Amino acid sequence: MAKPLNVIVAGGGIGGLAAAHVLARAGHRVTVLEQSAAFGEIGAGIQLGPNIFKMFEYLGLTEAVNQVAFFPTGLGMNDVRTGEKVVRVPLGDVARAAYGYPYGVIYRADLHQVFLDACKALPGVVLRTSSKVESFAQDGEGITVRLAGGEQLRGDALIGADGLWSRIREAVVGDGKPRVSGHIAYRAVLKREDVPAHLWSDDVQLWGGEKTHLVHYPLRRGELFNLVAVFHSNKYDEGWNTFGDTAELNERFAQAVPQVRELLGKIETWKMWVLCDRDPVKNWSDGRVTLLGDAAHPMLQYLAQGAGQAIEDAVVLGEALRFTDGNVQEAFQKYQQARYLRTGRVQLTARFYGDIYHAAGVQRELRNQMFQSGKESAGFAGLKWMYDGISPANLFDT
């Protein structure tokens, strides 16, 4: 390997820690700057497709993830008003047979902890809290990052993994605020003992309806039950930790089937976030600076790929640096060239799947008819390109 680099990562979420883990394993020195007072992850459950488990294997994290993940029996979708089954895709052995890897779900905080522990185990990683990046400047020799409070750090490269409202993206891409989808998501978690037996399911179950849907599935080896309710709203709050309005939620789901209303009634306090994304871009690098995860390609949650694509980013970025012998500018160009079409396709397909989940009128009837017939692609069949994942080994050698 060429001379080890000194890399600064802005953002201590899943994507930032994944990047730090990948680069430190390769012998680079990495400083992770987290603006909050502690490393942690806000949110409830996330789904992990086979493409993400492929990355866990590459990173040597499969066992750690398996200890805290849950492996659902299927992916199902029902009509939220009639209760009729729209489609169900079996998982388990079916997913493994199709892709060689499972389909799982995990508490976001648990996945974050896996990467945090992995970074702490590597001597080349420095983890800093209360370190907000204010600005940066680069020259022919490196990059200088200025923190709130005036402290300056010097490094060879800067990775902006600072999320949807990325300050690094403002400087590199400059495309303004994120695109507001018009939908908001409410999230909550129940203990298993608080979920009546007739409402429990080992599936990832989605109830789709006009401008609304509810998805639920077990978490943490089946100890918890994750609920995310999505509906149309004009509200807009930046961030991920705002309290939701239970009255508005109940109004939006007033026409839902009884089991959905019963589940929603089990939650007293909801946290909400506004669903936003951005149009895909081809360039998210500038010299010694590049973006990763939501900072580079934020996407709606309808394909459950946000965290997974950030982890793929980290792996590809590491391979690009290896291939270029640590030439930062060249590596960052190769990295984004290898990623922008795949991540752009996920961004746009996620928007399309939102339309499928929230279909009304003739669209709803067509959706149900096509999926129920079994003749149209649904679930794995239509997303093979995504779940096949990437092959890190020799990624740039051909």
Compute φ and ψ for 179, nearest 5 degrees: -85, 120
**Cβ–Cβ under 8 Å, residues 303 and 178:** no
What is the rounded average pLDDT for all residues in the chain? 92
Residue 253, pLDDT score: 94
Looking at per-residue pLDDT, the higher value among 209 and 375 belongs to 209
- Tell me the pLDDT band of 395, cut-offs 50, 70 and 90: confident
Which residues carry out catalysis? 217
Residue 278, pLDDT score: 97
Residue 170, pLDDT score: 96
Residue 268, pLDDT score: 85
With helix as H, strand as E and coil as C, how does 239-291 read?
CCCEECCHHHHHHHCCCCCHHHHHHHHCCCCCEEEEEEECCCCCCCEECCEEE
Rounded CA separation 139/136 (Å): 10
- Tell me the pLDDT band of 12, cut-offs 50, 70 and 90: very high
- Tell me the pLDDT band of 303, cut-offs 50, 70 and 90: very high
Residue 398, pLDDT score: 57
What average pLDDT does this structure show over 296-323? 96
Of the chain, the percentage scoring pLDDT greater than 90 comes to 77
Residue 40, pLDDT score: 82
Compute φ and ψ for 52, nearest 5 degrees: -80, -40
**pLDDT value at 371 more than 90:** no
**pLDDT value at 377 more than 60:** no
CA distances to 176, 220, 369 from 168, rounded to whole Å, are 12, 34, 45
- Tell me the pLDDT band of 235, cut-offs 50, 70 and 90: low
What average pLDDT does this structure show over 172-200? 93
What count of other Cβ atoms lies within 10 Å of the Cβ of residue 193?
Answer: 8
- Tell me the pLDDT band of 367, cut-offs 50, 70 and 90: confident
Residue 67, pLDDT score: 96
What average pLDDT does this structure show over 265-288? 93
Rounded CA separation 245/290 (Å): 38
For 105-122, what is each residue's pLDDT tens digit? 999 999 999 999 999 999
Residue 393, pLDDT score: 80
User: Of 251, 256, 206, nearest to 226 (Cα)?
Assistant: 206
**pLDDT value at 203 more than 60:** yes
Residue 113, pLDDT score: 96
User: Of 320, 280, 47, nearest to 159 (Cα)?
Assistant: 320
Compute φ and ψ for 60, nearest 5 degrees: 75, 30
Rounded CA separation 258/196 (Å): 13
Class of domain 6-177+284-387: alpha beta
Q: Which residue has the tokens 């306090």?
A: 269
For 77-136, what is each residue's pLDDT tens digit? 999 999 999 989 899 998 899 899 999 999 999 999 999 999 999 999 999 999 999 999
Residue 123, pLDDT score: 95
Q: Please name the residue ranges forming H helices in the chain.
A: 14-25, 50-59, 62-66, 93-99, 108-120, 167-172, 246-252, 258-265, 306-323, 328-357, 361-373, 384-387
